[in-house]
Amino acid sequence: MKFFQVKSVEETFSLIKEQIQPITEYINIPLFEALHFVVAEDIYASENVPDFRRSTVDGYAVKAKDTFGSSESFPGFLTLAGEVQMGQLPPGVLQTAEVMYVPTGGMLPEGSDAVIMIEHCEDMDGLINVFRQVAPGENVISVGEDMQKGALLLRKGTKLRSQELGALASQGITEVTVIRKPIIGYLSSGDEIVPIETERLAPGEVRDMNGMTIGALVTGWGFAFQYGGIVKDNREEFEKAAREMLEKADCLIVSGGSSVGAKDYSVEVIQSLGDPGVFVHGVSIKPGKPTILSMAGRKPVIGLPGHPASAIIIFHLFGKAILEQLNGFRYQEKQLTFARVTKNIPSSPGRTDYVRVRLFEEDRIWYAEPIFGKSGLISTLVQSEGVIEIAARSEGVQKGDLVPIRIFQ
């Protein structure tokens, strides 16, 4: 295989979708522990939600026709027939020309078909003045309007957020079948890399920032992270460490050694870890051109650039897509926001550029201020909140242009 055949960003995403297959190991876990897991099967509603008609406002349950014609100038007059208590049945059936007080979420009495907001009424010792009319169904949630019994509630591949957990809880579900979270193994490589606890750096040494930043992203996205330490520039040592880590993990990330320098053997080692092997070595992108993506059996291997800023941007871009797809999530890259750029930014056609930006608001308009700096500068990432994507076909953007922003998460 010929390595370093540069792919476009679009080709790289297409290859990721083609190559990465989800983990097939399913586990049952309590609902309270299921946040950020991915459901392994379609889930259907077993009950109507709500299973009774309920009010969406504090007000009075009415027969809508009894309010027709009511206004500020000509209020209607209806009789208060009682009050609905939360969690209890109404005290009776509503008759013509009657109202019954009902709180938000309370059950509507039989005979009513609408609720008029309390602020549109006046209680005169049990005689309710109504200052507007309501239509049938107004301010009412019908039986099954939220969720219908038998309807698809959650599709397989849905990541469980707080709102999905709430939907499951509404059905009385206490345990859910999910895809086991992938274990993500990590190695840093390079003679110059030393542990972060190193107090005094020798000339040419740098602390292992990538192990910290990539690990924080992995755990922040809800995956299990295993730090494998630092491997020196020795092919046998690197291959041994990579194989051992890959045995324990579902995905291996290697930082450093992905360039075309004299000591670069990482792509050959990654290729040797298993078939089908490397499917991307080089992406037409700045920063992060010497990115490696490979498959060893069903396990992805990601070779990140050594420069911290490049590594983070590449991992945000492709790493998250790989991990989400490995986890069975129906991943789709979404543009997060737009902002007006504050400066001209040149770009070379044929290469997708990602420029770090600081976001700020002025007169209710969001602006993106470019933070320029060499790809190895971690300080530029500390100052930034996202990146502008400049498409490969573009020669840059002009001051004032509305540009897409990928926000760091």
Q: From first to last of its 409 residues, what are the pLDDT tens digits of the chain?
A: 455 678 999 999 999 999 999 999 999 999 999 999 999 999 999 999 999 999 999 999 999 999 999 999 999 999 999 999 999 999 999 999 999 999 999 999 999 999 999 999 999 999 999 999 999 999 999 999 989 999 999 999 999 999 999 999 999 999 999 999 999 999 999 888 899 999 999 998 889 999 999 999 999 988 999 999 999 888 899 999 999 999 999 999 999 755 545 356 788 899 999 999 999 998 998 888 889 999 999 999 999 988 888 898 899 999 999 999 999 987 666 557 889 999 999 888 888 888 889 999 999 999 999 987 665 566 777 888 888 888 888 888 999 999 888 887 7
Q: HSE of 73 in the Cβ direction (CA atoms, 13 Å)? A: 1
Structural domain contains residue 4: no
Compute the distance between CA of residue 351 and CA of residue 7 in angstroms, rounded to an integer. Answer: 10
Residue corresponding to tokens 């301010």: 139
CATH of residue 399's domain is 2.40.340.10
**pTM, to two decimals:** 0.79
The type of residue at 264 is D
Structural domain contains residue 3: no
* Residues 303, 232 share a domain: yes
* Residues 387, 298 share a domain: no
Compute the distance between CA of residue 23 and CA of residue 17 in angstroms, rounded to an integer. Answer: 14
**Which of 130, 153, 179 lies at the terminal end of a domain, its last residue?**
179
Structural domain contains residue 301: yes
Q: HSE of 253 in the Cβ direction (CA atoms, 13 Å)? A: 31
* Residues 311, 222 share a domain: yes
* Residues 274, 170 share a domain: no
Structural domain contains residue 368: yes
* Residues 31, 175 share a domain: yes
* Residues 171, 30 share a domain: yes
* Residues 314, 231 share a domain: yes
Structural domain contains residue 354: yes
User: 333 near 13, Cβ under 8 Å?
Assistant: yes
* Residues 374, 400 share a domain: yes
* Residues 207, 161 share a domain: no
Compute the distance between CA of residue 354 and CA of residue 312 in angstroms, rounded to an integer. Answer: 12
Copy the structure tokens of residue 92: 């009776």
With CA atoms as reference, report the closest residue to 64 among 137, 129, 119, 131: 137
* Residues 272, 161 share a domain: no
Structural domain contains residue 331: no
CATH of residue 118's domain is 2.170.190.11
Strands 152-154 and 43-44: antiparallel
CATH of residue 158's domain is 3.90.105.10
**Which of 92, 125, 141 lies at the terminal end of a domain, its last residue?**
141
Cα 344–345–346 angle (5° rounding)? Answer: 120
Residue corresponding to tokens 């606890």: 197
How many domains does the chain divide into?
A: 4
Strand partners, 337: 405
With CA atoms as reference, report the closest residue to 271 among 246, 247, 293: 293
Host domain of residue 44 = 26-49+145-179
What's the pLDDT at 32? 96
With CA atoms as reference, report the closest residue to 378 among 308, 293, 317, 285: 308
- Secondary structure in 3-state letters for the chain: CCCCCCECHHHHHHHHHHHCCCCCCEEEEEHHHCCCCEECCCEECCCCECCCCEECCCEEEECHHHHCCCCCCCCEEEEEEEECCCCCCCCCCCCCCEEEEECCCCECCCCCCEEEEHHHEEEECCEEEECCCCCCCCCEECCCCCECCCCEEECCCCECCHHHHHHHHHCCCCEEEEECCCEEEEEEECCCEECCCCCCCCCCCEECHHHHHHHHHHHHCCCEEEEEEEECCCHHHHHHHHHHHHHHCCEEEEECCCCCCCCCCHHHHHHHCCCEEEEEECECEECCCCCEEEEECCEEEEEECCCHHHHHHHHHHHHHHHHHHHCCCCCCCCCCEEEEECCCEECCCCCEEEEEEEEEEECCEEEEEECCCCCCCHHHHHHCCEEEEECCCCCEECCCCEEEEEECC
Structural domain contains residue 237: yes
**Which of 296, 326, 356 lies at the terminal end of a domain, its last residue?**
326
* Residues 248, 198 share a domain: yes
Structural domain contains residue 2: no
CATH of residue 260's domain is 3.40.980.10
* Residues 172, 190 share a domain: no
User: 223 near 327, Cβ under 8 Å?
Assistant: yes
Strands 26-30 and 114-117: unpaired
